[in-house]
Homo-oligomer: A and B are copies of this chain.
């Protein structure tokens, strides 16, 4: 009886690939077992259950996303940083739709997710440094930026922009221009 060499990490990696291929909602214990040529029950030595598996994929995606964003941000400031960060974010979502969907999962162990989530916030805060925003405006601006990025990418990949002929990449650029403008002149009510 030859062993398949399963590992939690290997499973999560394969689950992430599966998610990108067939969609995150179709990442199932059975499908994953099939991919490794083992029985379903065998996976339960490595992951707690299906939910645990999905959460690990989510964590992987969050970390990867933070990595590419950090790379994009390195050595840039101001609008340059904003655009690079945003583009890295959008590119990752396009390249890894399943992982991106996973990253949107509501994680139960808040503590575990916090590390990746904090990295994202830190980076966004770094971008804002170039715009001279102070708290609490900074938090408001971070929330707006995250919302716009996530909303745009999410609607775009769901086909929400397909009805209109206008190229989605151009609207994205214009949206970034608009965000830059609003940050440079943040409304002080």
**Residue positions of A touching B, CB distance < 8 A:** 104, 106, 110, 114, 117-118, 121, 136-137, 139-141, 143-144, 146-152, 154-155, 158-164, 166, 168, 170-171, 174-175, 177-182, 185-187, 189
Contacts and interface: CB of A to CB of B under 8 A. Distances in A.
A66 B148 CA distance: 21
A155 B117 CA distance: 12
Contacts of A158: 104, 106
Nearest to A118: B163
A90 to B, nearest CB: 11
21 contacts: A104-B154, A118-B163, A136-B166, A137-B174, A139-B166, A140-B166, A140-B171, A140-B175, A143-B168, A144-B148, A144-B175, A146-B155, A147-B147, A147-B152, A147-B155, A148-B148, A151-B151, A177-B187, A177-B189, A178-B186, A181-B185
A120 B179 CA distance: 23
Contact of A151 (B154, B162, B163, B164): B154
A117 B177 contact: no
A1 to B, nearest CB: 37
B181 A106 contact: no
Given A150-B154, A171-B140, A187-B174, A163 B104 contact: no
B166 A147 contact: no
Given A148-B148, A148-B151, A152-B147, A139 B182 contact: no
